[in-house]
Structure 1
Amino acid sequence: MILTDILKGSEYSLILFKQDNINSLEERIITKMNKKGGEDAYVTCIVRNKEVKLTPEEVVRQLYAQELIEKYGYPKERIAFEYPIYFGREAKRADIVIRDKDDFNVAYIIVEVKKPKAKDGREQLKSYTHSTGASMAVWTNGTAITYHQRKNPNYFEDIPDIPKDNQTLEDILQRPFTMDDLIKSDKLTQTGKSLKDLVTEMEDEVLANAGVDVFEEVFKLIFAKLFDEQAGATDKKYNLEFRNSGQSDIQLKEKIEKLFKKACAKWEGVFPVDAKINLTPPHLSICVSSLEGVKLFNSNLDVVDEAFEYLMSKSSKGEKGQYFTPRYVIDMCVKMLNPQPDEPIIDTAAGSSGFPVHTIFHVWKNMQLKKNEKVSHLFTAVKKGYEETEYVVNNVFAIDFDEKAVRVARTLNLIAGDGQTNVMHLNTLDYSRWTTVTKEDTWNDTYNNGFKKLKKLSTDSNFSGFDFTILMANPPFAGDVKEGQILSRYELGMKNGKTQNSVGRDILFIERNINFLKPGGRMAIVLPQGRFNNSSDKYIREFIAERCRILGVVGLHGNTFKPHTGTKTSVLLVQKWDDKLCPKTDNYPIFFATQQKEGKNNSGDKLYWLNDKSGTTTDPKLALCDMYDHPVIYHDLHNTINYRWNDAKSCNELEQITPDGIAEAFVEFAKKEQLSFFVDAPLTK
């Protein structure tokens, strides 16, 4: 009996198979009489080593299994027929499964020959791979064949072939994926989704049922991916490794673990030395597939920060009244205080370290423009020169009392600072305990280098005063400080010569921050609106005015910190009195402004400028975009400038795409008032 007789009248054929293999199978056929008096063909199964009846489907299965063994080199023990796939209590059977070489209980490639139509077979395979976590799938009916990679539960990508036993899919595809490729295909700009959206999707699909700390595991993945992207930004030929390129789930976890370990070795002090990824291989595979197409590095790390804010809001961050400051508020403050390369800056309630990081960007960008260097698309990732790196190493500091926030801040500072960070886990207000805390071995291992530099800026041995030129902070509002040991060290903690029972945390931060500044130093601080107009807080305003020139007050919109809180806030800008830089006077003008364009809607969703600037939208795909293809937030705190490199002129061309805002109005005010940080020498120093 020949095989064409068996296939006659079916939708299966032998077109795909070699004649030698067809002949070999035919030679092994034995016939048996059936109940109707006809003959049925049987063969000893190449995998199961038992007699099976040759139906059209079985013919194709036997021939393809022979190919898997001879052409692709898979050992018989890795191949299973009628492999059970469970959907709740129901079990279905996959025609052929190639098992993972590291764990025979895990499916690596699933082959389906049951469904004669490609579309039906593909849908069947989707459900099978989703249930088992298999990396690849094959459909064939002997006439045609298709190969697929499971990129995520909802997405199959066609591939040209499957790998041999000694190969990976990457070997087959030989498809480079560099940082340039990632920029072109960035999922966030292509789909309009945010990293926060992807994290919430991963929570729904995987993380909520993974039995892990969601913050820690997502943090590890972002950490590893940032390391991978930075390598790709500095080496244009580097193939990004944070991607599911056809490995089994177990192989993929090994690859991502290795990447994470490299990141930990380069950027110390964020994760313990023995840290490892705790997601199971199938869970990790889905997360990697979700994140691999996202470009985390951008002009301001806003993409990463939004995701961290979401993750941390689920833990203790919001309960302490401390919320990440929107980047457009930060940029306004930075523009108004105009930090210079020789001026040390600190954030005493750092959160994710937005103020220090954006101060770095401001100083670096001015350095690049001054030297007529290109302002890179990957501004935060490209290798920096000696001058830029030295600025970060010696002049940029941050402190926070929340350990998770410090780790996020250190990560962003390590990246922005090209491998250096002076972010420390300290209680800014309780400085009397610093001496004890900083002697602990575990603390010292992580923070000692930064603390040594911080001590050099201290004006006394007990850390009550410092010589910082710039301080920017958004201290926590919620809760009062009640410890007498802390309150007794603050003038604002006392009343009528006695320690008060309790004082608002933000009130103590005002005094503490002023003490961080040297004479002539300047500060931007976010405070509750009530501190500016409550009659009971008059003593606070008098305390500030006695020590500083009040430069300006900017009222922020009530939606600024939504969805976390609707507290109305303002930014206070001051400069500490100094005989040369800011001579004390009783009569001087103050800059006042109120934000009109809200930045967020009442639900806390970001509002963007419509592409034609005719109004607003919450849909990033309809939004006006900056030079990095990121949607521009609808606000009036500062303008948005695009820097475009003109090859013909070899210079950066500046294109303003949104109107001047409050920051630009303040700059004009500062120049008119000849404030020291906006006029020429000798008063700039």
Structure 2
Amino acid sequence: MTAPIAPPVTIRTGTVPEGKVSDFLTGRHLRDTPEEYVRQNLEKALVRQYKYDPRDCEPEFPIKVGSSRKRVDVVVFKPGAAHTQENAYVLVETKRAGVSPASRTEGIGQLRSYLAACLNATYGLWTNGDEQYCFAKRASGDGQFVFEEIIDIPAFGQTEEDAQRPQRKDLKPATADNLLFAFRRCHNYIAGTEGKQKPEAFWELLKIIFCKIEDERSRRLDFYVTATERANATSAVSAKTRIQQVFTEKVLAKYGAIFPASDATIDLKPTVIAFVVSQLQGYSLLASPVDVKGVAYEEIVGSNLRGDRGEFFTPRNACRMAVTMLNPQPGEKLIDPSCGTGGFLITAMNHALAHIEQQERAQWATPSRGSDEERLELYRARNEYLSQMVHGLDLNPGLVRAAKMNMVMNNDGSGGLWQVNSLANPRTWTEEARRRVVLGSFDAVVANPPFGANIVIDDDEVLEQYDLAAIWDRRPDGRWEMRVDKNGHRVLQKNQPPEILFIERCVQLLQPGSGRFALVIPNGILNNPALGYVRSWLMANVQILAVVDMARELFQPKNDTQTSMVLARRLSDEERVAAAAGTLEYPIFMAVTERIGQDKRGNVLYRRTETGEDVLVTREETLAEIDPATGEEVLRTVTVQERQIDDELPDAATAYRRWLGEQK
């Protein structure tokens, strides 16, 4: 049965002409340029992270510099004051990536000249996304000014001192791509300054990110660096000593399995550690949205750990579609047997956690802000789910380590990940993996098995576990039959691609009768006549719930394989008998998605009207924030207007959930 895909439900608040973007502060249409991309992210940060009133901010503000007129990219004015040059408080200059801060016309010298021309302006920020510099303007005593580099500009109502060493109440959840910029700055600085290879720089950066996360979980914040420590190599030694102590006492003590004894030191120069800490100390990584952290983390993971065994990370929109359709619940055991860096597993895990949080908050006297006892119960429920229900396996030890770190940054659950060969006999796995991962015990499986590479499984001890590793013959009536020898034993093929064996392993993991999977499967398996036996085996062992054909561009430009997302439920023994007899009938949801939000080069594509203008949508977004009075996390709902990505995967998930509700 095929269900049509309903058009997306959107609130059309306007359109944006092709090649334009809608300014975050003013709504004006501006040219869509690399520099504008940086500025729009900074505007969002000024309002959402630094908490400045958008009415006190103005882009492209004209000022007089000597006898000429210049335009400052963004000016923050004193609260409620008229927008005049005399009332300018913070000046921001944004440049496209690649512009040097030392540039005579576009570098930090330009920002300093603007600050000097605005007598009452106190702070300045210059960034090209990959680099960022903050300054405070000081009177020198002779009627002139000096510009002192500082860690960060103050947020609204914040003192400069607090901005340089933030307290818990000052930590800011990241927005838009600003965390991505920060991670990229740190990674590039480590690689460029230390002379390390990119993967080496990546692992050292992750140690510091771990320090940041665990420091946020502790009562006393030690993850900070002063302006003096960042500017002076001798003083930076104190910063390295402090951060190394955080790593030893707060990270190694808790995550010894991730960091072996040989990796117990942050192998970076004091000045490098001071720089990295300065870029991250003002954020609250724990309170930052999952997608913001995911995009930032996967950016640096993807540039360092993409393997050569067909490991292509599942795009986030495909993960979200599959998880929405699968709808994993808090009481269900979840596993990804080819978890990679954990993106698919984290999406499913957070879907279930959202149910837990919604259920718990619904019982609170004030849903947006619970008492200590209520928060403790929410923490207990989340921790119970993460420690008992979330599991992941992968053959690549580097990816497993990266996945553990990714999960720690996204609510944790890292204790259920193991480095094992998922296709091997479970008796070869580690003792804890054997104990926790039992075939036939899982309610939900999400997986994007390795594919698209010239790799095969040819170990007989592995192959003998699988029906799909056997030779299958097609009978005259068109049905497929597994070949057996005279003793009734399966006759094995010499080798088999891992993606075929993973299909059977995923079914083996599921509880008979109720367990279900969401699995990325290459279309060749679904339509190649020679692989008809795979489809025959599937129909004999699972109920196919849905097949969503995903556009070829989904994995491009890294991989050109066209895939489908297949959802299925493992049949009970009684149902398998009915399937074998040909009496098991049921409808199947099928959809074809032609647009997945990007082109073959990976460039984002936006939905357009019939006249070629971008479609704008308005949606409500729940943000976690730090209450300045208590230092606790609270929720706030904001209205966000943005261009709609031309992606039909969410539409397919919505149509499937609607179709599923219509079934008896």
Where 1:356 maps in the other structure, the secondary structure is: helix
Residue 397 of structure 1 aligns to a residue whose secondary structure is: strand
> 1:157-194 CA deviation, whole Å, 9 max, x = no partner?
79xxxxxxxxxxx996686624553427x4x53xx456
Q: Taking structure 1 as the reference length, what is the TM-score of the superposition?
A: 0.60
Deviation at 1:586, TM superposition (A): 3.0
In structure 1, give the amino acid aligned to 2:597: G
Deviation at 1:145, TM superposition (A): 7.0
Q: Which residue of 2 aligns with 1:452?
A: 435
Question: Structure 1 residues 615, 628: closer, same or farther in 2, change over 3 A?
Answer: farther
Check whether the contact 1:414–1:421 (CA below 8 A) recurs between aligned residues.
Answer: no
Tell me the secondary structure at the aligned position of residue 518 of structure 2. strand
When structure 1 is superposed on structure 2, of 538-547 and 356-365 the one drifting more is: 356-365
Residue from 174, 190, 199 that aligns with 1:215: 199
Equivalent position to 1:306, from 292, 295, 300: 295
5 Å-filtered alignment, 1:4-19, equals none
Equivalent position amino acid for 1:241 in 2: F
Structure 1 residue 577, shift from structure 2 partner: 1.0
The 3 A distance-change label for structure 1 pair 150 and 625 is farther
Q: 1:290 to 1:472 in 2, by over 3 A?
A: same
1:468-487 equivalences under 5 Å are 468-477=442-451, 478=453, 479-487=455-463
Consecutive unaligned residues of structure 2, counting only runs of 5 or more, are 1-114, 118-133, 230-234, 472-482, 485-490, 625-633
Select 1:266's aligned residue among 254, 273, 281.
Answer: 254
Counterpart CA distance in 2 for 1:325 and 1:555 is: 15
Name the structure 1 match of 2:232.
none
Match of residue 656, structure 2, among 640, 662, 666: 666
Contact 1:473 1:525 in 2 (8 A): yes
Residue by residue, what CA displacement relative to the aligned partner does 1:118-144 show, whole Å, maximum 9, x if unpaired? 99xxxxxxxxxxxxxxx9999997625
Counterpart in 1 of 2:317? 328
Cα deviation code 1:499-552 (max 9, x no counterpart): 222211100100111111111210110011211111111111101000001111
Alignment partners' CA distance in 1, 2:612 and 2:207: 39
Look up the match of 1:288: 277
From the superposition, tell whether residues 331 and 491 of structure 1 become closer, same or farther in structure 2 (CA, over 3 Å). same
| Equivalent position of 1:503 in the other structure | 496
2:519 and 2:567 in contact (8 A); partners too: yes
Structure 2 residue matching 1:475: 3-state secondary structure: coil
Q: Secondary structure of the equivalent of 2:512?
A: strand
Do the aligned partners of residues 599 and 201 (structure 1) sit closer, same or farther apart at CA in structure 2, a change above 3 Å counting? same
Note closer, same or farther for the CA distance 1:610–1:208 as it changes in structure 2 (3 Å cut). farther
The amino acid of 2:312's aligned partner reads Y
Secondary structure at the counterpart of residue 266 of structure 1: coil
How far, CA to CA, are the matches of 2:405 and 2:460 in structure 1?
Answer: 35
Query: CA–CA distance in 1 between the matches of 2:285 and 2:618?
Result: 20
Q: Distance in 2 between matches of 1:623 and 1:610?
A: 12
- Hey, what's the Cα distance between the residues in 1 that align with 2:591 and 2:188? 43
Q: Aligned partners of 1:220 and 1:628: how far apart in 2? A: 32
Alpha-carbon distance in structure 2 between the residues aligned to 1:229 and 1:623: 33
Aligned equivalent of 1:513: 506
What does residue range 266-665 of structure 1 map to in structure 2 within 5 Å? 266-273=254-261, 274-293=263-282, 296-297=285-286, 301-315=290-304, 317-371=306-360, 372=362, 374=367, 384-418=378-412, 421-431=415-425, 434-435=427-428, 438=430, 448=432, 452-454=435-437, 458=438, 465-477=439-451, 478=453, 479-495=455-471, 496-497=483-484, 498-520=491-513, 521-578=515-572, 585-607=583-605, 627=621, 661-665=651-655
Determine if contact 1:179/1:240 at 8 Å carries over to the other structure: no
Separation in 1, partners of 2:209, 2:334: 29
Contact 2:548/2:590 (<8 A) preserved = yes
Tell me if the contact between 1:369 and 1:375 (Cα under 8 Å) persists in the aligned partners.
no
1:468 CA drift (Å) = 0.9
The percent identity for this pair of structures is: 25
RMSD in angstroms over aligned alpha carbons?
Answer: 4.4
CA drift of 1:299 comes to 6.3
Shift of 1:356: 2.9
Structure 1 residues 399 and 528: CA distance shift in structure 2, 3 A? same
Distance across 1 between alignment mates of 2:191 and 2:613: 38
Q: Distance in 2 between matches of 1:606 and 1:654?
A: 19
Verify the 8 A CA contact 2:443 2:510 in the aligned structure 1.
yes
Partners of 1:328 and 1:375 in 2: CA distance: 28
- Once the two structures are superposed, residues 20-53 of structure 1 have per-residue CA deviations (whole angstroms, 9 ceiling, x without a partner) of xxxxxxxxxxxxxxxxxxxxxxxxxxxxxxxxxx
Distance 1:313 1:361, change over 3 A: closer
Aligned to 2:241: 254
Question: Could you tell me how far apart the structure 1 residues matched to 2:499 and 2:465 are?
Answer: 15
Task: Report the TM-score when normalising by structure 2.
Answer: 0.62
Higher Cα radius of gyration: 1
CA-to-aligned-CA distance 1:649-680 (integer Å, 9 cap, x gap) = xxx99999989721121122222224xxxxxx
Contact 1:217 1:277 in 2 (8 A): no
**Structure 1 residues 138 and 344 mapped into 2: Cα distance closer, same or farther (>3 Å)?**
closer
CA distance in 2, matches of 1:424, 1:375: 36
Given that 2:187 and 2:202 are in contact with CA atoms closer than 8 Å, whether structure 1 keeps it comes out as no
Superposed CA deviations along residues 376-404 of structure 1, whole A, max 9, x for unmatched, are 99xxxx87432222122211111111111
State the AA in 2 paired with 1:492. Answer: L
CA distance in 2, matches of 1:205, 1:228: 18
User: Are residues 491 and 431 of structure 1, via their aligned partners in 2, closer, same or farther at CA, if it must alter by over 3 Å?
Assistant: same
Partner SS, residue 621 of structure 2: coil
Change in 2 beyond 3 A, CA 1:304/1:576: same
CA distance in 2, matches of 1:294, 1:466: 42
- Which of 1 and 2 has higher RCO (CA within 8 Å, sep 6+)? 2
- Check conservation: 2:204, 2:268, Cα contact below 8 A: no
Aligned mates of 1:327, 1:581 — CA distance in 2? 34
Aligned residues: 478
Q: Distance in 1 between matches of 2:617 and 2:641?
A: 17
Unaligned runs of 5+ in 1: 1-116, 120-134, 159-169, 440-447, 459-464, 631-642, 647-651, 675-685
Please state whether the residue corresponding to 2:253 is helix, strand or coil.
helix
Query: For the residues of structure 1 that align with 2:236 and 2:264, how far apart are their CA atoms?
Result: 20
Q: In structure 2, what is the Cα distance between the partners aligned to 1:136 and 1:413? A: 35
Rounded to whole Å, the distance in 2 between the matches of 1:208 and 1:221 is 13
Asked whether the 8 Å contact 2:548–2:565 carries over to 1, the reply is yes
Q: 1:221 to 1:556 in 2, by over 3 A?
A: same
Residue identity opposite 2:447 in structure 1: A
Q: Distance in 2 between matches of 1:297 and 1:608?
A: 30
Paired with 1:306 and 1:560, the residues of 2 have a C-alpha distance of: 16
Change (3 A) 1:118 1:402: same
* Counterparts in 2 of 1:572 and 1:137: CA distance versus 1, 3 Å: closer
The correspondence of residues 138-177 of structure 1 with structure 2, limited to 5 A, is: 143-144=142-143, 148-151=147-150, 177=166
C-alpha deviation, 1:222, in angstroms: 4.0
